Structure 1
Amino acid sequence: VALREATGDFGLESPPKPRGRPKHKTRAVKSKRSENAATVEVDANMHENGLSLISAYELLEDNPTFNSTHEKLLQFK
């Protein structure tokens, strides 16, 4: 079998590169948005009730019982 000489240039083209930021799927965007809304709602409720880590430490300072602290501690999530 006789093969001819290859005289033409043979080059591979690289695939097109994406430009810009990757597109997010609609489902991922909606879930992230609802997660952020839930976090904001929890933070607003804690602020409205005057709850913080400092108030939790104050509740637990001197030998607390469940009956004395359960209302405030159950508000933490």
Structure 2
Amino acid sequence: MLEETGWRIARPRRLGVFKRFAYMPEYDLWAEKICTIFVAHPVRQLHAPTEPGHEAIWADTRLAVSLLANVGDQVFLADFLSGALPR
């Protein structure tokens, strides 16, 4: 979390996991990625993200799902917000 967003978090809770295929331009190949989804509370921003292309975005929950880049992330967030996943 810290390297991708620059934020320190508290009370992380694992919501689930899914697989997806993603193109990795630095290696010029497609790779299977295992994505683990967490929900947590932001504590404090310590620095800017250290990985290129990463950022923390604060958004209204009505917009948040549409801002996510892949369907797996969208499904987990939509399920969490609807109450389908335990809070």
Q: TM-score, normalised by structure 2?
A: 0.19
Which structure shows the higher strand fraction? 2
Q: TM-score, normalised by structure 1?
A: 0.21
Q: Which has the higher contact order (CA 8 A, sep 6+)?
A: 2
Which structure shows the higher helix fraction? 1
